[in-house]
Structure 1
Amino acid sequence: MKRFIPTLLALLIVTLSACTDDGMVDVKSSFGVEETGDRLEEVLKDKGMTIFDRVMHSEAAKDVGVELRETELIIFGNPKAGSPLMKCQQSVALDLPQKALVWEDSEGITWISYNHPRYLEKRHSISNCDDVLSNIEEALAAIVNEAASD
């Protein structure tokens, strides 16, 4: 446990430093889009999350004649995390289940992007729910960083 806490704090620092003003967290991946998506799905399942869908936006774009860099969306969740958050503020259900975007930028770099839980706190005026938000924040950071790193 003592080794886990410093590792988790380091992951949070890396993730938080990638948080943009619009509430989106962008984490650089060491892998291509498909492998990153596969790794993310595997980590999510290992953590007890349900994968609701994996939307291949770039493939759908190709079907209508639009060229799009590799882009896919993974929709996932867990009632143990989402339900307490919805109890704090029911409107947050609009943004649940969680989503992670795995995408390639113009330089060929793969990223995992997701909404920072504190963005959801602000967007839905959530109050008196710090423990729930902190747990989600830590879990998302750890999951995404595990999927994106060697």
Structure 2
Amino acid sequence: MTRLAAALALAAGTALAAVTAATPAAADPAAEGLVVKRSAHSVTETLDRLAQMLTDNGLTVFTRIDHAENAAKADLDLPPTQVLIFGNPKLGTPLMQESRTTAIDLPQKALAWEDADGAVWLAYNHPAWLSERHGLEARQEVPEKIGGALDTFATQASNE
């Protein structure tokens, strides 16, 4: 095994351990600005439902990343783990204009994963945390508005 392959395998294993351990019972995600909700649906269905709500409400879904599928291509195991990348340039661009570093966190992402017990979780960064992280002051109403909408969409996507 080459050094690069060994390093990638170690990184993948570390990432798997972090995602598996990152359930609300294992850590306090709210302390890091992460909103986590338990889902009554599979990983795929949870993000399908979220994507539909986002597009129905005028947001753009840019892409979905299936980390488990990518891990399998590298002969590694990872329980279902997917990330949905979405946003609204009319809302996000003014935030980036105020603080260009905001672009590292935009577009917004939602993570759905299955833990070791088979429970499915949905998580996303709270926009107010992003606002604080990047020192956004001029447009405080935007993160608050986005946060409220995301909470509604995430709750509906994860509930029966």
Q: Report TM bin, short chain.
A: 0.7 to 0.9
Instruction: Please identify the structure whose Cα radius of gyration is greater.
Output: 2
Q: Which amino acid aligns with 1:148?
A: S
Query: Which residue does the alignment assign to 2:147?
Result: 137
What is the CA distance between 1:143 and its match in structure 2?
Answer: 1.2
Deviations 1:43-100 (A, max 9, x none): 1111111111110000110111111110001001111221232233232112111100
Residue 82 (structure 2) pairs with residue 66 (structure 1): no
> Contact 1:19/1:116 (CA < 8 Å) preserved in 2?
no
The two structures, once aligned, show a CA RMSD in angstroms of: 1.5
Return the TM-score normalized by structure 2: 0.78
Aligned with residue 45 of structure 2, among 13, 27, 35: 35
What is the CA distance between 1:24 and its match in structure 2?
Answer: 0.9
For residue 68 of structure 1, give the secondary structure of its aligned residue in structure 2.
coil
Residues in 2 aligned to 1:112 and 1:47: alpha-carbon distance in whole angstroms: 19
1:114-129 correspondence runs (5 A):
114-129=124-139
Residue 50 (structure 2) pairs with residue 56 (structure 1): no
Moved more, 28-37 or 119-128: 119-128
Return the TM-score normalized by structure 1: 0.82
Query: Which residue does the alignment assign to 1:3?
Result: none
For residue 129 of structure 1, give the secondary structure of its aligned residue in structure 2.
coil
For residue 32 of structure 2, give the secondary structure of its aligned residue in structure 1.
coil
Residues in 1 aligned to 2:111 and 2:38: alpha-carbon distance in whole angstroms: 12
Residues in 2 aligned to 1:45 and 1:133: alpha-carbon distance in whole angstroms: 19
For residue 127 of structure 1, give the secondary structure of its aligned residue in structure 2.
coil
Query: Which residue does the alignment assign to 1:44?
Result: 54
Residues in 1 aligned to 2:44 and 2:102: alpha-carbon distance in whole angstroms: 29
Structure with higher RCO (Cα < 8 A, 6+ apart):
1
Residues in 2 aligned to 1:140 and 1:34: alpha-carbon distance in whole angstroms: 18
Query: How many residue pairs are counted as aligned between the two chains?
Result: 133
Moved more, 88-97 or 105-114: 88-97
- Percent identity of equivalent pairs: 41
For residue 135 of structure 2, give the secondary structure of its aligned residue in structure 1.
coil
